[in-house]
Amino acid sequence: MVNKNPRDPLESPLSPLERDFSDRVQGEDLEFRASDDGIYRIIHKKSQLYAFEPSKLLSKFTATQLVTISGAASGFLAGVVVCPLDVVKTRFQAQGAMAQSTGSLVNKEYRGFLGAFKTILREEGIRGLYRGLVPITIGYLPTWTIYFTIYERAKLFYPDFLKSHFNLEIHALNHFCSALTAGMTSSIAVNPIWVVKTRLMIQTGSGTTIDKSIAKDKSASKPKIERTYYKGTLDAIRTMYKEEGIRVFYSGLIPSLFGLLHVGIHFPVYEKLKLWLECDLNSTTSDQQQSTLGRLIIASSVSKMIASTITYPHEILRTRMQIQSSNGKKSDKHKGKLISSIVKIYQKEGFKGFYAGYGINLVRTVPASAVTLVSFEYFKTYLLEVSGKQ
């Protein structure tokens, strides 16, 4: 319910209940007030601009829509929090492939997470740690919006489906199928954004026509690969489409789909750990709520570490394929294919090449998982409870 200027608070005194505010945030011209009766008011100087009651507002949404909102909020939050970690991880994953780039003005290799973090911060400033923030934020928001929406609905669909068609009643299998369905849908929908994000994150400095290599060129006899330097997200989209066509935005999709095994492991383990650790967000006391928060963090972190360890090589393949330009010579026309990428990584870097940046990846993905899953659980629980749909 929204009311504009219903009265002048100075001319019409507030009731005792309205004066007993549980929270009040005051700025230079605006005041945000929350009263004990659950009504929120925004007041500009002498006039009340808006008054609304969250429970009535949220009651207009369906449970599915509230889950979608929760997924969007958790995705946006995760995108902002983990962007610097994602930049460092992407640089590590890509540096083996970037060693042949032209314009190798940065004659070094990153060594260790803290070393890479400090180097990027020193040479490129805070902006270097937030390269690709726009696409990563835009990417995380729809990714988790789509994922959690499909996942929550699939969890309701698969038990009856598997029971009626295959006579199976296995909770882990329900979660596995739900995770695969949600992961496939979100991967196909958002892959173009992740390609743009990866291209932007591997850039260093502020070049104008070519990308500066992030790794030391150890062999001057190797042919150089010219790379376009993108000025920003929109410029990257326009340039990539102009130079490489629409197919470039779906490079790396195949290893991404292979990576569905990741969510197929992650979410069933997460759901099982939530049951074992008794992660109940409907606890009434503050001590119980704090204890639940800690257990949720443990469940999300441990499940992420298990899934990442098993499925990490697909991330290397996806990153390498996403940064490969499709406008090379005819002799290189197959270089973007999955088998070719696997062979090249193994020949040049050995088995350990499939786990390049693994430690850095854990430093990034474990906090990201905790932020995403825990915030989603809290957003969902709050919105469903306030709306009366819990």
Evaluate whether residue 64 is within a structural domain: no
Q: Residue 228: CB partners within 8 Å, gap ≥ 6?
A: 209, 210, 211, 239, 243, 325
Evaluate whether residue 279 is within a structural domain: yes
pTM for the complete prediction?
Answer: 0.68
Evaluate whether residue 260 is within a structural domain: yes
Comparing 16-30, 109-123, 243-257, the range with the smallest average pLDDT is 16-30
Evaluate whether residue 77 is within a structural domain: no
Evaluate whether residue 116 is within a structural domain: no
Evaluate whether residue 36 is within a structural domain: no
Q: What is the pLDDT of residue 81?
A: 86
**DSSP code, position 46:** T
Evaluate whether residue 379 is within a structural domain: no
Which residue range(s) make up the domain with 262?
A: 252-323
Per-residue pLDDT tens digits for 180-216: 999 999 999 999 988 888 888 777 655 444 344 333 4
Evaluate whether residue 291 is within a structural domain: yes
Residue 278 structure tokens: 């008794």
Q: Which residue has the higher pLDDT, 76 or 288?
A: 76
Q: In 10 A of CB 258, how many CB atoms?
A: 15
Mean pLDDT of the region 143-155 = 93
Residue 299 structure tokens: 């469940």
Number of independent structural domains in the chain: 1
